[in-house]
């Protein structure tokens, strides 16, 4: 439109132009809200991280009362399921360095919760096993962990708990096959 043409625009055309602007602004506002709403949906990874941090805090607190650290509990649990693992194997399972796992095993051994024996084929490799005292300690820890899990899963039906368990297992497997060798971390490092 030229200047002369804009001067001759009547009230009807001006109203239509205003309605078009208002409609465009409303559409832009709706798109912005939709975009904002989409941004407020948390990432699955973030939710898993939040659960892990809260679970870890509860485990640390409860297990400390029983005289066991969370890494020690994980180690005892692994050894109960897979007796005779070496420090290096335990470290791979727990995603920590072998040096860090050696500190955990040494502390458990000093308290007679774990014993190590030389591997018959490779005398330099020490195989770890949970002692009777370690199993007693582990049973007390399991009671605390059961209570924590009951708190965490209390609002879910048994069917949903199974779906969650299966989904978490599948997620862990997917990450393991796409990046089979994550860098181990020291025990005192970022978790």
Instruction: Report pLDDT for 1.
Output: 44
Q: Please check whether residue 32 lies inside any domain of the structure.
A: no
Q: What is the mean pLDDT of each run of 10 residues along the chain (191 residues)?
A: 43 51 56 61 94 97 96 96 93 89 96 94 90 97 97 96 96 87 59 42
Global confidence as pTM: 0.71
| Euclidean distance between CA atoms 85 and 53, whole angstroms | 27
| Euclidean distance between CA atoms 80 and 84, whole angstroms | 9
Domain count, the chain: 1
Q: Please check whether residue 130 lies inside any domain of the structure.
A: yes
| Euclidean distance between CA atoms 147 and 160, whole angstroms | 18
Beta strands in 22-118 (DSSP E): 114-118
Query: 87 - beta bridge partners?
Result: none
Q: Please check whether residue 14 lies inside any domain of the structure.
A: no
Instruction: Supply the CATH number for residue 155's domain.
Output: 1.10.10.10
Q: Please check whether residue 38 lies inside any domain of the structure.
A: no
Q: Are 127 and 98 in contact (CB under 8 A)?
A: no
Task: Provide the residue range defining the domain that includes 65.
Answer: 44-178
Instruction: Report pLDDT for 9.
Output: 45
Q: Please check whether residue 69 lies inside any domain of the structure.
A: yes
Instruction: Report pLDDT for 163.
Output: 97
């Amino acid at each position: 439109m030229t200047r002369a043409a804009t001067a001759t625009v009547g009230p009807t055309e001006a109203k239509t132009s205003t309605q078009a602007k208002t409609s465009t602004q409303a559409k832009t506002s709706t798109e912005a809200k939709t975009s904002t709403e989409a941004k407020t949906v948390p990432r699955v990874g973030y939710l898993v991280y939040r659960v892990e941090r809260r679970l870890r805090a509860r485990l640390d607190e409860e297990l400390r009362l029983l005289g066991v650290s969370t890494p020690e509990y994980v180690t005892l649990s692994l050894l109960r399921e897979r007796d005779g693992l070496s420090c290096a194997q335990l470290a791979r399972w727990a995603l920590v360095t072998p040096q860090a796992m050696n500190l955990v095993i040494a502390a458990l051994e000093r308290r007679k919760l774990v014993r190590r024996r030389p591997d018959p084929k490779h005398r330099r490799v020490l195989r770890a096993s949970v002692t009777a005292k370690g199993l007693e300690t582990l049973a007390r820890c399991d009671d605390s962990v059961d209570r924590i899990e009951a708190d965490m899963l209390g609002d879910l039906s048994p069917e949903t708990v199974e779906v969650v368990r299966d989904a978490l297992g599948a997620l862990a497997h997917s990450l393991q096959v796409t990046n089979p060798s994550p860098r181990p971390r020291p025990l005192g490092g970022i978790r």
